[in-house]
Structure 1
Amino acid sequence: MSRTRRRLFIQILLFVVTLVTTTIAGAEWMHGTSLFYANPPLTFTQVLEGLYFSVPFLLVLTFHEFGHYFTARYNKVKVTLPFYIPLWFGPFTTMGTMGAFIQLRSRVKTNKQYFDIGIAGPLAGFFVALGLLWYGFTHLPPADYIFTIHPEWKALGDQYPQHVYTEEALAGRGAVKLGDNLLFWFFEKFVATGPVPSPYDMANYPFLFAGYLSLFFTALNLFPIGQLDGGHILYGLVGRRWHRIISPIIFVAFLFYAGLGWFKYQDFNQSNTDDFLIQAGYLAAYIGLNFMAMSRLHPDRWTVAALALGMVLMQLVISYFFPAVEGYRGFLLFAVMLGRFLGVYHPPAEIEVPIGWKRQLLGWFSLLVFVLCFSPKPFIMFE
């Protein structure tokens, strides 16, 4: 078998496996239980219902990747078909995938090409996500749909929200609340033609959940950092010199927000020596994590160490004066992967030319899309 056919076989296999894992994940979210722990066990028909999640979600993901693919081919840049990444942990409910990626097989020569290839994917996926959300919010099931997921709530009658949305009840069932973003809010307020579910139950509605995740991943890709799609767009808009200034500033701000409030000054204001030492150990590990995330910002390790320590000290100062202010630690792993492995800076193009006003408008439009899709706290877990 030739290398090309072997790669195509792997790509098809990965897509099929990803379809299976996202279908299982969709069934788990719809029925509010893990496939391993379901009691009674999920039937084959119930698992197949996960296709209501997997098909639209993978449709958005596929349009995103083929937006990159066809634009690269148009610019005569050699590129592979998408590699899908399945992800299913069995007992632990996941989204079924870590997304997909294409490989560029030849060098991108101009900043225009970087811009075009970078922006095509998220915009293609975004417009499909809009259609998905429009369908989901105009085809909402009746209010008693939630009783098919939680039949025990039906006995509580119209008063069930007062019982099932308390902190104790939410923690008891490990609920996940979807965060706010401007576009989702617009569809809830102005498009929905039926009863809008509680944000604590939104994950049980496959079209809405698939649409929300599509917005979430679109926003992540549009961060104007490094070699993310947003980083390519930023590079095309401002060139290498300004990208090397703007991208690390945005990255450091993002990392700062991710860890804000994780450790607070009040945590160390205690008389118990053992608790103090435990907190100090966790804090040292957290400083090391920040060091890892910023390790490629500057060649001098002492400078990076000073940045990591300074960031944590600033977070502690803010927590002293504003103890209620918190970021979203769920972003921290992404920030570490971005800073340590993907990089914050952008490889230089051989040729840099003005991209023209049409591309500039598209670039600013992509920033608007990012603002509409971004949620400061996308997933709030109750444990």
Structure 2
Amino acid sequence: MSPQSLFSIYTSGVSPEGTMYSSFQIDSFKLMELLGPEKVDPSDVKLIKEKLFGYSTFWVTREEPFGDLGEGILFLGNLRGKREEVFAKLQRQLTEVTGNKYNLFMVEEPNAEAPDPRGGPRVSFGLLRKEVSEPGPTTLWQYVIALLLFVLTMGSSVEVGIASQLASLPPDVVKYFTDPNATEPPDMQLLYPFVESALPLAYGVLGVQLFHEVGHFLAAFPKKVKLGIPYFIPNITLGSFGAITQFKSILPDRKTKVDVSIAGPLAGAALSFSMFFVGLLLSSNPDAAGYLVKVPSMLFQGSLLLGLISRAFLGYTAMHAATVSIHPLVIAGWCGLTTSAFNMLPVGCLDGGRAIQGAFGKNALLAFGLTTYALLGLGVLGGPLSLPWGLYVLICQRAPEKPCLNDVSEVGTWRQVAIGTTVFFVVLTLLPLWDELAEELGIGLLLLPLLPSDDLLGCCLHDADIYARMQNEQT
């Protein structure tokens, strides 16, 4: 309902359509008006129409509400020049006429029947008060929550390091945490050496997330874009699901949105791939044998791209064993690449969603987002992590980013190609290897009945010879 309609309800109790409202409903409308954001002053609207718009800039034909709650004014009409030049002129004149009270947005005209005769979409101009349109400062409680989440993320990163050494943990410790019938706790001092040895891997996992955020800040600084404090999301499988980082200033244009959004995942992915690559090299180095950890070969079926790269470095024999000896850097790089790929999914307010919205527009983000939700829901992307990640996005990151000041000008072909290529590699990273291809390539093993054991539940098979003997016995 427009502000004009609300005003008529407040004064007469009758809507423009003639529907009668009770006094309670009218009071409710008044309360919503008082509690809602401050609207544009009608006298300023009149002044702006007289001083800014006209035959040489933009001829206004009608007005509509603008903003999440209709607190602004959207001017629709006909453009009288090049859109970027007209917008720059209107911004200068707005400051001269009203001071520093409002922000002017150039957006695509909603429900336009035809494109602009000069080419490109028809544009309209939205007006919002600065205190309404600009993000508020970070509060003390937000800093406290961010610090708490960071501490939890440190803990989950250490947990990933400990889990990587599961095959070397004392049997009493593993049995206590895996056997529901275990009652006597083991000597927890046995865990101290494993916690200490898990720290380097935890540093690597956490370092990728910090480098990701540094990438965002380095891209935002030269463009004078303010970013909020990151809220890290702990996860016991990857160490972290990344971080929620809000824009604390309005983005000037879509190019800036693309550049700042993609800088973080690319920085994190670059560091992660470096660790992953070096870790694979060290895994084949006899001098690094003392630092290797055993992981189930099934791990490498979690990613089509990373599994194929690992297969090329480690070879068929190593990848076809029940467990694979790898350097912890491989795990840190794997976790970092997976987290970067998740954050580059083209949905909502994720880095990938912001990048798609900036490169191709809000309608494209809607189409990409629906497709992504469907693939996550079916478990096609991300494997067992698809459901928790999808729920996280739905709860925390589902809303698209707010429009830029100039939300119309194109970002250029090379940025669109870069975003499209990045999304392609994201899909390859999160697409698991299906059993037939994994068996053909010798990556991982199909699940077999576990052997009985007094210590571990089934225990891991520690070499390919045991696995071969099992197959012989079964046949």
- Tell me which protein shows more strand as a share of its residues: 2
By how many angstroms is 1:195 displaced?
7.5
Q: Find out whether 1:133 has 2:276 as its counterpart.
A: yes
Residue aligned with 1:139, SS: helix
Instruction: For CA contacts below 8 A with separation 6 or more, give which structure has more relative contact order.
Output: 1
Correspondence 1:69-84 to 2 at 5 A? 69-84=217-232
Residue 166 (structure 2) aligned to one of 31, 34, 37:
31
Partners in 2 of 1:341 and 1:14 — Cα distance?
Answer: 14
By how many angstroms is 1:252 displaced?
4.4
Correspondence 1:177-326 to 2 at 5 A? 177-192=299-314, 196=318, 201=323, 205-244=327-366, 246-258=367-379
Partners in 1 of 2:198 and 2:312 — Cα distance?
Answer: 28
- 1:98-122 residue CA offsets vs partner (Å, 9 max, x unmatched): 4333232222342222211111111
Residue aligned with 2:299, SS: strand
Partners in 2 of 1:238 and 1:55 — Cα distance?
Answer: 37
Partner of 1:318: none
Q: Which amino acid aligns with 1:26?
A: G
Partners in 1 of 2:339 and 2:197 — Cα distance?
Answer: 23
Partners in 2 of 1:95 and 1:241 — Cα distance?
Answer: 32
By how many angstroms is 1:237 displaced?
1.7
Partners in 2 of 1:8 and 1:73 — Cα distance?
Answer: 21
Partner of 1:154: none
Partner of 1:264: none
Structure-1-length-normalised TM-score: 0.61
Partner of 1:367: 423
Partner of 1:47: 195
Q: Find out whether 1:107 has 2:258 as its counterpart.
A: no
- Tell me which protein shows more helix as a share of its residues: 1
Partner of 2:27: none
Q: Which amino acid aligns with 2:205?
A: F
Residue aligned with 1:77, SS: coil
- 1:69-124 residue CA offsets vs partner (Å, 9 max, x unmatched): 22222322211343334456xxxxx4444433323222234222221111111111
- 1:171-199 residue CA offsets vs partner (Å, 9 max, x unmatched): xxxx9634243432343243449984568
Residue aligned with 1:49, SS: helix
Does the 8 Å contact 1:23/1:48 carry over to 2?
A: no
Distance 1:96 1:40, change over 3 A: farther
Distance 1:7 1:187, change over 3 A: same
Residue aligned with 1:371, SS: helix
Residue 121 (structure 1) aligned to one of 243, 250, 264:
264
Q: Find out whether 1:376 has 2:423 as its counterpart.
A: no
Q: Find out whether 1:348 has 2:469 as its counterpart.
A: no
Q: Which amino acid aligns with 1:27?
A: I
By how many angstroms is 1:51 displaced?
1.9
Correspondence 1:14-29 to 2 at 5 A? 15=150, 18-29=153-164
Partner of 1:60: 208
Partners in 1 of 2:403 and 2:330 — Cα distance?
Answer: 40
Moved more, 100-109 or 126-135: 100-109
- 1:290-330 residue CA offsets vs partner (Å, 9 max, x unmatched): xxxxxxxxxxxxxxxxxxxxxxxxxxxxxxxxxxxx99464
Distance 1:355 1:11, change over 3 A: same
By how many angstroms is 1:53 displaced?
1.4
Partner of 2:40: none
Q: Which has the larger radius of gyration?
A: 2
Residue aligned with 2:378, SS: helix
Correspondence 1:93-104 to 2 at 5 A? 94-104=237-247
By how many angstroms is 1:248 displaced?
4.0
Partner of 1:335: 390
Partner of 1:290: none
Q: Which amino acid aligns with 2:345?
A: F
Q: Which amino acid aligns with 1:44?
A: Y
Q: Which amino acid aligns with 1:118?
A: S
Residue aligned with 1:179, SS: helix
Q: Which amino acid aligns with 2:337?
A: L
Residue aligned with 1:62, SS: helix
Does the 8 Å contact 2:227/2:247 carry over to 1?
A: yes
Partners in 2 of 1:213 and 1:54 — Cα distance?
Answer: 11
Q: Which amino acid aligns with 2:274?
A: G
- After superposition, the CA RMSD in angstroms is 4.3
Partners in 2 of 1:146 and 1:251 — Cα distance?
Answer: 42
Partners in 1 of 2:219 and 2:402 — Cα distance?
Answer: 19
Aligned residues: 288
- 1:14-62 residue CA offsets vs partner (Å, 9 max, x unmatched): 5455334422430232234578749674342321111231122122221
Distance 1:328 1:346, change over 3 A: same
By how many angstroms is 1:355 displaced?
0.6
Percent identity (aligned): 24
Structure-2-length-normalised TM-score: 0.50
Distance 1:82 1:201, change over 3 A: farther
Partners in 2 of 1:24 and 1:255 — Cα distance?
Answer: 25
Gap runs ≥5 in structure 2? 1-137, 178-184, 435-443, 449-456, 458-475
Gap runs ≥5 in structure 1? 89-93, 151-164, 261-325
Q: Which amino acid aligns with 1:221?
A: N
Does the 8 Å contact 1:338/1:344 carry over to 2?
A: no
By how many angstroms is 1:149 displaced?
6.8
